[in-house]
């Protein structure tokens, strides 16, 4: 069967080609939607599909929807049940990506967050690699600043805010890089990639920007911190990172639901380490791939079998 076959739309699971919105939709005009990105992993060894940290994604979704005054009219349990039903119908035998989206569905003109109908849909798409995971990628510092908590809060996955990410990613690609690293508008600290968090190995510590540094509080970021601590891989420090600390880091990697764990080989043409995947990144990545296919028993609660 071709994917996706279905969407949850207007309170029902329907064929995806019937899930259409009106051209006047407020969220289409003004970007007033909030979304999630969840991965499901096909495990070739067992022939099973697992959705990774689904509850955590929906908890973040409901919590952050408050920021743009969207009321998600479903509980975390209900959203998990709907997603499972949808994924059972899709019958994937490859990795996939699930996109829940809550939005202002009203048809009125005007960018405001009140007085609008609101709705929610969920669909999925097949998704292999979003960034390379075997090869270290090349990265530039974007000339575009990251949005900030007091402009468009990066903490929420607000659809309109991804114009910022699109400018960064597009500039990077047009200039011959794989990805961008983005600095904050004030203070010039490192925030994250266009759609992924960043970690640095420096002086035997695993360093990542704090949640107050204009980042999305990534679930993969949290997974990496958890793995580093549990497996005694390295001490983790959450603190501001300078641009030139990146140039002089021992290792750098991106992480995210789409990105997974992607090693960074250079920043602005400065080689990081030996330019390949560093040992700490490798250890974390190996364990991450075990984790998401339910091969580490301690974390099996993070994997929901479809
Ligand atoms: N930062 C941004 C801006 C993102 O869009 C994403 C992808 N959701 C991430 C970080 C990584 O977050 P997560 O690990 O929760 O997917």
Give the predicted TM-score (pTM) of the model: 0.97
User: What is the pLDDT, as a whole number, of residue 234?
Assistant: 95
User: How does pLDDT run across 136-172, given as a tens digit for each residue?
Assistant: 999 999 999 999 999 999 999 999 999 999 999 999 9
Contact 91, 77 (CB under 8 A): no
Q: Confidence class of residue 187 from pLDDT cuts 50, 70 and 90?
A: confident
Nearest CA to 189 out of 143, 139, 244 is that of 244
Ligand 1 pocket: which of 51, 216, 222 to mutate (most atoms within 8 A of CB) = 216
Mean pLDDT across 183-188: 88
Half-sphere exposure of 65 (CA within 13 A, CB side): 25
Mean pLDDT of the chain: 97
157 is catalytic: yes
Neighbours of 193 (CB within 10 A): 28
Q: Is 38 in the pocket of ligand 1 (CB under 6 A)?
A: no
Q: Is 216 in the pocket of ligand 1 (CB under 6 A)?
A: yes
Contact 279, 154 (CB under 8 A): no
Å from CA of 255 to ligand 1 middle: 8
Looking from the CA of residue 60, the nearest atom of ligand 1 is 15
Write down all domains in the chain, each with its CATH number in brackets.
6-126 (3.30.470.10), 137-292 (3.20.10.10)
β-bridge pairing 48-52 and 12-15: unpaired
Å from CA of 128 to ligand 1 middle: 16
Mean pLDDT across 270-286: 97
Nearest CA to 282 out of 238, 248, 251 is that of 251
User: How does pLDDT run across 232-258, given as a tens digit for each residue?
Assistant: 999 999 999 999 999 999 999 999 999
Å from CA of 12 to ligand 1 middle: 28
For ligand 1, atom 2: residue with the closest CA: 195
C-alpha 113/C-alpha 69 separation (Å) is 6
């Amino acid at each position: 069967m071709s994917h996706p076959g279905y969407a949850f739309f207007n309170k029902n699971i329907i064929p995806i080609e019937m899930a259409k919105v009106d051209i006047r939709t407020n969220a289409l005009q003004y970007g007033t939607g909030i979304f999630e990105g969840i991965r499901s992993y096909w495990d070739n060894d067992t022939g099973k599909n697992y959705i990774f940290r689904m509850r955590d994604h929906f908890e973040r979704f409901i919590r952050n929807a408050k920021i743009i005054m969207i009321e998600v009219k479903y509980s975390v349990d209900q959203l998990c049940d709907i997603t499972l039903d949808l994924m059972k119908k899709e019958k994937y035998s490859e990795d996939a990506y699930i996109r829940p989206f809550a939005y202002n569905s009203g048809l009125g003109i005007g960018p405001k967050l009140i007085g609008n109908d609101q709705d929610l849909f969920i669909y999925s798409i097949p998704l292999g690699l979003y960034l390379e995971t075997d090869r270290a990628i090349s990265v530039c510092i974007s000339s575009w600043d990251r949005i900030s908590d007091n402009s468009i809060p990066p903490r929420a996955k607000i659809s309109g805010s991804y114009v910022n990410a699109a400018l960064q990613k597009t500039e990077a690609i047009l200039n011959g890089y794989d990805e961008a690293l983005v600095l904050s508008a004030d203070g010039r600290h490192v925030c994250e990639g266009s759609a992924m968090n960043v970690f640095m190995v420096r002086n035997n510590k695993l360093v990542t920007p704090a949640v107050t540094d204009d980042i999305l509080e990534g679930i993969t970021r949290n997974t990496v911190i958890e793995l580093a601590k549990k497996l005694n891989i390295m001490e983790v420090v959450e603190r501001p990172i300078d641009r030139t600390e990146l140039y002089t880091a021992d290792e750098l990697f991106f992480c995210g639901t789409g990105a997974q764990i992607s090693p960074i080989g250079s920043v602005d043409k400065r080689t990081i380490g030996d330019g390949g995947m560093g040992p700490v990144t490798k250890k974390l990545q190996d364990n991450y791939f075990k984790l998401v296919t339910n091969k580490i028993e301690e974390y099996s609660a993070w994997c929901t079998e479809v």
